[in-house]
Amino acid sequence: MSRLTINISTERHKALKAAAARRGTTIGQIVDASLDAYGIKSERNVSELLARARAHSRLETGKAEALAVEETRKARR
């Protein structure tokens, strides 16, 4: 697992720390879940998503990938 250093305000850090304590989790896990919710996925996750979509669809590979990209862009707006 990689480490990441970011600069945030003291107030935000305190809020993150408190939220993690309330949830019984870590700040890193909150950040990771937030990235997932924002639609930022690893390449492996995207590949798995595409494989599932292909299995449930009659679309050709290129069309399935184009649809996945289009839907991801919509979700990020």
Residue 47 pLDDT: 74
Whether the predicted pLDDT of 5 surpasses 90: yes
- Please tell me which residue, 24 or 1, carries the higher pLDDT value: 24
* pLDDT, the chain, mean: 86
User: What span, in angstroms and rounded, lies between the C-alpha atoms of 76 and 8?
Assistant: 23
Say which CATH topology domain 1-38 has.
Answer: Arc Repressor Mutant (1.10.1220)
Tell me if residue 69 falls in helix, strand or coil.
helix
Question: What are 26-44's pLDDT values in tens digits?
Answer: 999 999 999 888 877 766 7
CB atoms within 10 A of CB 41: 14
Q: Domain ranges in the chain?
A: 1-38, 41-77
Residue 14 pLDDT: 97
- Provide φ and ψ at 5, rounded to 5°: -110, 130
Nearest to 71 by CA among 55, 57, 50, 51: 50
pTM given for the model:
0.54
- Provide φ and ψ at 42, rounded to 5°: -75, 160
